[in-house]
Amino acid sequence: MKIALAQINVIIGDFAYNTRKMLSYIDKARKQQADIIVFPELATTGYPPRDFLEFSDFVEKAENSIEQLKKASQDIAIVVGSPTFNPVIEGKDLYNSVVFLYRGEEIYRQHKTLLPTYDIFDEARYFEAASRWNIVEFKGKKIALNVCEDLWNLGNENPLYTINPMDKLMPYQPDFIINVSASPFDYTHARERIRVLKQNVKQYQIPLIYVNHVGAQTDIIFDGGSLALGANQKVYKELPYFEETLEVIDINELQNPLREQQQPKEKIALIHDALVLGIKDYFGKIGFQTAVIGLSGGLDSAVTTVLAAKALGKDKVRVLLMPSQFSSEHSVKDAVDLANNLGIRYDMVPIQHIFETYLDQLNPLFEGKKFDVTEENIQARIRGNLLMAISNKFGNILLNTSNKSEMSVGYGTLYGDLAGGISVIADVYKTEVYDLARYINRKHEIIPVHTIQKPPSAELRPNQKDSDSLPDYDILDTILKLYIEGRQSPQEIMASGYDKTLVNRILKLVNRNEFKRYQTAPVLRVSPKAFGMGRRMPIVAKYLE
**Residue 112 a catalytic site member:** yes
Question: Catalytic annotation on 148?
Answer: yes
Order the strands of the 290-294 sheet from edge to edge. 345-348, 317-321, 290-294, 396-400, 422-423
Which of these is catalytic: 61, 112, 237, 280? Answer: 112
Number of Cα atoms under 13 Å in the Cβ half of residue 265: 17
Dihedral sign, CA of 224, 230, 232, 236?
A: negative
Reported as half-sphere exposure (CB side, CA atoms, 13 A), residue 103 has a value of 4
Closest CA to 238 of 225, 223, 255: 225
Backbone angles phi, psi at 65, to 5 degrees: -60, -40
Contact 346, 318 (CB under 8 A): yes
How far is Cα 529 from Cα 269, in angstroms, rounded to an integer?
19
241: DSSP letter: B
Question: Which residue blocks in 485-543 are alpha helix, DSSP H?
Answer: 490-495, 500-512, 514-518
C-alpha separations of 47 from 121, 147, 481 in Å: 10, 13, 28
Catalytic-role residue among 21, 123, 148, 198: 148
Distance (Å, whole) CA 9 – CA 280 = 12
Q: Which of 21, 41, 404, 459 is catalytic?
A: 41
Q: Could you give the CA distance from residue 435 to residue 437 in angstroms, rounded to a whole number?
A: 5
Q: What's phi and psi for 484, nearest 5 deg?
A: -85, -55
139 flagged as catalytic: no
> Hey, which residues are catalytic here?
41, 112, 148
